[in-house]
Structure formats: C-alpha cells, structure tokens
Amino acid sequence: MFQWLCNTAKINKIIKKWRYFLMEKVNNTTDFIMNYLLICENIKDYRTREFEEKFEINEEIFDKNLRTPLAYTTLGDEEKIEVEVILDLEQLQMIQEVSFKYKINGSVAK
C-alpha cells in the first residue's frame, strides 16, 4: 500500500509538471498567434492609409516565406531607380531592395 501511495504521488508530480509545461506551450502559442494577427492588422492599416489598398477581413498579407511589401517608390527623372522595402518575419528584418533600369542598345534592362 505504501509503495502504491509513493508511486501515485510521483505520478501526480509528473502530471502536474507536464500540465504546467503544456499550458506554457499553449500560452506561448496563443501569444505568438495574437502577436502575428496584431502585426497583420497594423500592416493592413498602414497600407490602407498610405497606398489606399483594400483588404478582405481574413486576407493573408504574408507570402509562404513570411514576407510582405511595406513600401515601393521610384526615383529619378525617368523613374530609373526602384526601391522596395519588405518585412521578413522569419528573419526578423526589413529588407530594402534597389533596382536600376538602364538602356542597352535601345532596350531597357534591369
């Protein structure tokens, strides 16, 4: 009987630890999802204000690589320079891509 009580107490301790561990995982996952949704909502608000884009309620703004464009502009008299800013959530960075248009033998190249 005493052995059974000791084993039961050990099992209960293990169950409590696992319950705590699982609840932490659930809470972390919930926080992650809520933060992701908040980021999406803020980006949608920004792009609606800045670029007058329209979004559906549950429209996904990130591609499969967790990237989304934030800004785009052209520079120069003939708009030969293009600048795009992209948010990369997977790498936790903002990327600025710059491309130039120039003519080679009368055709435009990038």
What pLDDT shows up at residue 66? 92
Q: How far apart are CA 57 and CA 20, in angstroms?
A: 35
Q: Is the pTM of this model over 0.75?
A: no
Q: What is the percent of the chain with per-residue pLDDT over 70, rounded to a whole number?
A: 75
Check if the beta carbon of residue 74 is closer than 8 Å to that of residue 53.
no
Whether residue 55 is found in the same domain as residue 70: no
Mind listing the pLDDT tens digit for each residue in 32-71?
888 888 899 999 999 999 889 999 988 999 999 999 998 8
Residue 47 CA, chain-centre distance (Å), reads 15
Full residue range of the structural domain in which residue 86 is found: 62-110
Q: How many domains does the chain fold into?
A: 2
Whether residue 75 is found in the same domain as residue 54: no
Mind listing the pLDDT tens digit for each residue in 36-47?
888 999 999 999
What pLDDT shows up at residue 57? 84
Whether residue 67 is found in the same domain as residue 52: no
Q: Indicate if the pLDDT at residue 92 is higher than 80.
A: yes
